[in-house]
Amino acid sequence: MRRVLRKQKSVYALSLTLCLIGIIALLGTLLKTYPQISSSTDPFSTFLSLLWTEKITISQAFEFRLIYLVILGDVMLVSGVVLWLLSRQWLVVPGKTVWYQCPFCKKKWRAVGDKALVHCPYCNQLVHPLIAEK
Ligand SMILES: [Zn+2]
């Protein structure tokens, strides 16, 4: 039980970190392009073209276009949210046994967790099981 909790906390922390990096990357992009956008008559297309033309130089040898920063930010944000959702699910799981009922053959069986899709052990169909009483 404790191990599950610790694992979950680290995943939660990781997801927050990823979200934070994503937000910083996207904010950085906005800050970098804001002066040109605010003086433009067509902010959206200016923003899009800036993504492909503006470059960020970290050192002489390492520079990249803004678009990569946006992609990086999106990827970080999405994986952060996914991890966060996973870490929430793990909280529900710990060893709870429920009775599933197959909607086709109406047979019941016991299993751990709450899965949305399972193979019925009797008729071997992939089913959305009904949760029967414990
Ligand atoms: Zn069945």
Tokens 């071997």: give the residue: 124
Q: How confident is the model at residue 74, as a pLDDT?
A: 94
pLDDT digit string, tens, across residues 40-96: 888 888 888 888 888 877 777 778 888 988 999 999 999 999 988 877 765 555 567
What's the gap in Å between 110 CA and the centre of ligand 1? 13
Q: Is the dihedral of CA 110, 112, 113, 116 positive or negative?
A: negative
Enclosing domain of residue 71: 2-92
Same domain, yes or no: 67 and 45: yes
Same domain, yes or no: 61 and 121: no
Q: How many domains does the chain have?
A: 2
Task: Give the tokens for residue 45.
Answer: 């297309």
Cβ-contact 83, 15 below 8 angstroms: yes
* pLDDT grade for 1, boundaries at 50, 70 and 90: very low
Tokens 């996973």: give the residue: 86
What's the gap in Å between 6 CA and the centre of ligand 1? 37
Same domain, yes or no: 63 and 109: no
Same domain, yes or no: 113 and 128: yes
